Structure 1
Amino acid sequence: MPVTLKDIARRVGKSVPTVSRALGNHADISPETRAEVQRVARELGYEPSAIALNLRRRRAGAISLISPAHAQVRFSDPFFAEFLNGVVEAVAEQHIDLLVTAGADEDVEALYLKQIRSRRTDGFIVVRTQRTDSRINLLREQGVPFVAYGRTEENNDFCFVDEDGAAGIALVVDHLASLNHRRIAYISEPLFLTKAYHRMMGFRQGLERNNLPFHPELFVETHFRQRSGRQAAAYLLDLPEPPTAIVAANDLLALGAMHEAQARGLVVGRDVSITGFDDIPLTEYVHPALTTVHLPAQEFGRRVAQMLLKLIDKAPLEERQFIYQPALVVRGSSGPAPG
């Protein structure tokens, strides 16, 4: 049976209200009594009720993550699943609930306001940030604690965790240029997303520093998943002068592109090189294994959640903003340019 306030009260010979206030460090309880009650509570293994703690703190004991419909974030997305796992681990350690809601296209601000006014949440994790993001502007105006996974193109005066996507894609271009690829294509996620825009800019910067031209016909803006990657690759490989290498903005797009290339009888890594970004677990086990850029998705989720919990508790933060420097992982899907 769990230890209760009554058990502690019997042991120390005090009333239950006195024990409760001693455990809450109230000033009207003498230091000696507070110390005695807290000592006995530790000896008995007393754990305060999460509900009682939240009532005392005037907290909901929960944080929210609203999955944006426009970004097609799904639990089947391996990167998002790993990110969410990190969030879940961090909040569980602090006995906090996580509320995950699927966003609606029509009025995302109304959905945030509904949760804020319900007082069922103490703060928000914002994912898939946009270059101009009304969600962040709203949370600023409402004075609600939040941490974003990603930045905006506006005033980044908020707490966030992000990766240097531009540097990551530029590393990929450097790698392909070193293999003598000169016609390099790019498959992009929707460019209203900040991370997609940063990665696209990294592609342009990589071409420029390797003295390679940007060919508009080798650039495709599409969605997020394998089907979109396959369709984009079909267009690129049907060009009169197809690319010798395809850089995809995420691993799922790259896997779709690989499927299209292989369906045409091409050997990936020999006839055409294909690269991804994120380093989801599957990339190591496809054939050939995918050259990609590593991001620690679970660590990102954990860090975002820990930052938010500290904000809610008004605890000091070592870093309000963290930008991860990604690393290139070279595998079999990239090789020397043919011919």
Structure 2
Amino acid sequence: MRLTIRDVAKKLNLSITTVSRALDGYADVANDTRKLVIETAREMGYTPNRAARQLRRQKAETIGFILPAHARRFDEPFFAEFIAGLGNELSGKNFDLLVSNAADDEMEHRLYQRWVSSRKVDGFILNRVSQKDWRVQFLAREGIPFAALGMSQDGLNYPHIRIDGLEGFVELVRHLQQGGFSRFAFIGGRENLINHIDRLGWFKAALAVCGLPFDQGLVFSSDMTSTGGYEVARRLFALPRGPDALLCISDETAFGALHAAHERGLTVGRDIAIAGFEGVQDSRHTEPPLTTLDIPVEKIARQLVTMLLAKLNGETLERDEIVIHPTLLIRASTGG
């Protein structure tokens, strides 16, 4: 016969309500009592009925992540590592992760609206945040908690992790300058993306710090895929006076640029320097290995989960913003 919560309550001589609230983690149950209930339930082999708990608490115990419409694919290394971090952290907190993707902006809007109206998830994790981000505005208006990698310019406060890569860009440009590279190009993303705005800003500032000229004609946008990086790099290499160093908004974009350089017959690290951003695992194994500004992608995803769950539990966050400084990993793609 399957054990029930009544059996646990009877063994401890506690009310069913107390045992239920202890197992659900309510703060009005004393810590000693909660520990005793959890330990006894485990020893007895009792597993709470999750569906019943969700109904009692009126929570889905699920967090949503929708791959941005412009991101294209789940198998991009960044998203693979990011989603793994979300899932690993949530599973340890007895939450599920609901993931989907959208073919276009209209479908992305519909997904958010459907998940919110059906209460399919308790909150969302966002990334690839835009300057004015409709997701931020929509979720704030609907009262749905969320945490994000990146801070939009909507004038709203929410838990987020912000990357500050200025020092890393200065270090990277100095490294390239010392290697004899002097004509720098930047392959970015969509112009309204915070990633693009920030990283292009750091690129300009780093050139200024190192006494190098900035050429707007060597700044190109891409869709941040390897295909986009390949296409833009080919255009740059075809210029009458092209660059000898490419700094890319992401490692994925840099992978495409590497392919274009090989196709052109250029020796990467000597004829052309190529660097990425994010430090995904695959950047170690390109030919040659890719210099990159490394951020701990999986750790960032886990931290966003921690921030969001604290928000869901009504806890006061010590701070709404965590700042990450990238680490420069010098490899052969820049002559390192």
After superposition, the Cα gap between the structure-2 partners of 1:59 and 1:218, relative to the gap in structure 1 and judged at 3 Å, is same
Q: Distance in 2 between matches of 1:231 and 1:98?
A: 34
Count of paired positions: 328
Q: What CA RMSD, in Å, does the superposition of the two structures yield over aligned residues?
A: 2.7
Q: Distance in 2 between matches of 1:12 and 1:106?
A: 54
Single out whichever of 152-161 and 45-54 deviates more from structure 2. Answer: 45-54
Match of 1:19 among 2, 16, 20: 16
Structure 1 equivalent of residue 75 of structure 2? 76
Q: Secondary structure at the match of 1:171?
A: helix
Structure 1 equivalent of residue 219 of structure 2? 219
The Cα shift of 1:40 comes to 4.6
> Are residues 1:86 and 2:85 paired?
yes
Q: Secondary structure at the match of 2:305?
A: helix
Q: 5 Å matches for 1:239-254?
A: 239-254=239-254
Q: Distance in 2 between matches of 1:87 and 1:138?
A: 22
Structure 2 portions without partners, runs of 5+: none
Structure 1 equivalent of residue 57 of structure 2? 57
Q: What code does the residue aligned with 2:310 have?
A: K
After superposition, the Cα gap between the structure-2 partners of 1:295 and 1:61, relative to the gap in structure 1 and judged at 3 Å, is same
After superposition, the Cα gap between the structure-2 partners of 1:125 and 1:285, relative to the gap in structure 1 and judged at 3 Å, is same
Q: Following superposition, which runs of at least 4 residues in structure 1 exceed 6 angstroms of deviation?
A: 34-37
Residues 64, 121 of structure 1: 8 Å contact kept: yes
Q: Distance in 1 between matches of 2:270 and 2:288?
A: 10
Q: What code does the residue aligned with 2:71 have?
A: A
> Are residues 1:121 and 2:121 paired?
yes
The Cα shift of 1:244 comes to 1.5
Structure 1 equivalent of residue 180 of structure 2? 180
Residues 179, 335 of structure 1: 8 Å contact kept: yes
Q: Distance in 1 between matches of 2:40 and 2:215?
A: 73
Q: Distance in 1 between matches of 2:2 and 2:88?
A: 24
Q: Secondary structure at the match of 1:246?
A: strand
Structure 2 equivalent of residue 231 of structure 1? 231
Structure 2 equivalent of residue 95 of structure 1? 94
Q: Secondary structure at the match of 1:112?
A: helix
Q: What code does the residue aligned with 1:288 have?
A: P
The Cα shift of 1:89 comes to 0.8
Structure 2 equivalent of residue 136 of structure 1? 136
Structure 2 equivalent of residue 155 of structure 1? 155
The Cα shift of 1:198 comes to 0.4
Q: Secondary structure at the match of 1:333?
A: helix
Residues 126, 147 of structure 1: 8 Å contact kept: yes
Q: What code does the residue aligned with 2:96 have?
A: D
> Are residues 1:277 and 2:274 paired?
no
Q: Secondary structure at the match of 1:282?
A: helix
Q: Distance in 2 between matches of 1:20 and 1:145?
A: 28
The Cα shift of 1:173 comes to 1.9
Structure 1 portions without partners, runs of 5+: none
Deviations 1:162-191 (A, max 9, x none): 312444334322321232322111111112
Deviations 1:133-190 (A, max 9, x none): 1110111112211111111133251111131244433432232123232211111111
Deviations 1:34-77 (A, max 9, x none): 789837546525343332332222211111112221333x2111
Q: Secondary structure at the match of 1:106?
A: helix
Structure 1 equivalent of residue 189 of structure 2? 189
Deviations 1:231-262 (A, max 9, x none): 21111112222211111111122121111111
Specify the structure having the higher radius of gyration (Cα).
1
Q: Distance in 2 between matches of 1:36 and 1:195?
A: 44
The Cα shift of 1:204 comes to 0.6
Q: Secondary structure at the match of 1:233?
A: helix
The Cα shift of 1:306 comes to 1.4
Q: Secondary structure at the match of 2:63?
A: strand
Structure 1 equivalent of residue 312 of structure 2? 312
